[in-house]
Amino acid sequence: MVIFMKKHIADLKINGSGSSAGGKYNSVLVNGSGRIDGDLDCDYMKINGQCTVNGKVKVNSMKVHGNSLIKGNLEVEKAKIHGTADIKGNVSVENAETYGSVSVDGDCNAEIFKIEGTFAIEGLLNAGELELSLYGPSRAHEIGGEKIIVKKKGKYHFFGLKNLIMQGSSKGLKTETIEGDEIYLENTQAKVVRGNNIELGPGCEIELVEYKDNFKQDEKAEVGTQRKI
């Protein structure tokens, strides 16, 4: 375990395996496995490998390659996650991209949020621009925002193979309600979808659609009731 500290606001580096009590840092770098027992406030955070934070995290820019587990709230301007992120509190972020799997036990607020992979959000997913490319079953309690796009699987077809073998097992996105201005959905199961312009692609099962301006529906989409308001 090696921990270097320098400057007035110190950097925290964990190479190998180590732990820290948290606090205020300029940058936090974890190569290997780290554990932070307390709240973390820093400008830049990078995790290569695995890191657990037993507290809340406030950071300007964050990069994760590997696993991260945050027991408290996460507040971040810019986040890029390759791998998994598991947040037990609420998330608030300006601009986030995740490749892999994300789970949030609370609410998630984002201006721009791009997810490739899978996600599970127990509360409300509230985003200005939301782009979800799903590789497997995902869920959110509610989704709201300005522009919401949900697509079945992304550009790589590696996971597509799994879908081929376990056909019908993954159902894409499952949620109670989706509300937004512009909505495009594929492979989505929802009770209610409300918005100005709504387009449903293949694989959607929606109980109730309420739209203001336009509504388009793929022939492979199932809709219970649709209403123009």
User: Residue 17 to residues 23, 71, 157, 166: CA-CA distances in angstroms?
Assistant: 19, 19, 35, 38
146 lines the binding site for other proteins (CB under 8 A) = yes
From 95, 196, 217, 226, residue interacting with other proteins (rule: CB under 8 A): 196
Which is closer to other proteins, CB of 12 or CB of 148? 148
From 105, 122, 176, 218, residue interacting with other proteins (rule: CB under 8 A): 176
Helices (H), 115-218: 158-165
Tokens of 71: 């027991």
From 3, 112, 208, 223, residue interacting with other proteins (rule: CB under 8 A): 208
Cβ atoms of 51 and 42 within 8 Å: the answer is no
Torsion of CA 115, 120, 123, 125, to 10 degrees: 10
- Scored b (16 or more CB within 10 A) or e, 169-180 reads ebbbbbbebbbb
Site string for other proteins, 71-110 (x = CB under 8 A): --------------------------------------x-
Which is closer to other proteins, CB of 53 or CB of 115? 115
Measured in whole angstroms, the distance separating CA 106 from the mean position of its chain's CA atoms is: 12
From 147, 154, 205, 217, residue interacting with other proteins (rule: CB under 8 A): 147
Number of residues that bind other proteins (CB under 8 A): 24
In degrees and rounded to multiples of 5, residue 8 shows phi and psi of: -70, -50
CB of 84 to other proteins, least distance (A): 25
Sign of the alpha-carbon torsion through 116, 176, 184, 144? negative
From 177, 205, 217, 218, residue interacting with other proteins (rule: CB under 8 A): 177
Which is closer to other proteins, CB of 97 or CB of 176? 176
- Count of CB atoms situated within 10 Å of the CB of 132: 27
Ranges of beta strands (E only) in 71-187 are 74-87, 91-104, 108-134, 138-152, 173-185
180 lines the binding site for other proteins (CB under 8 A) = yes
49 lines the binding site for other proteins (CB under 8 A) = no
CB of 211 to other proteins, least distance (A): 11
Which is closer to other proteins, CB of 40 or CB of 198? 198
Half-sphere exposure of 170 (CA within 13 A, CB side): 22
205 lines the binding site for other proteins (CB under 8 A) = no
Site string for other proteins, 105-144 (x = CB under 8 A): ----x-x--------------xxx---------------x
Site of interaction with other proteins (CB under 8 A)? 109, 111, 126-128, 144-147, 176-177, 179-182, 191-192, 194-196, 208, 210, 212, 229
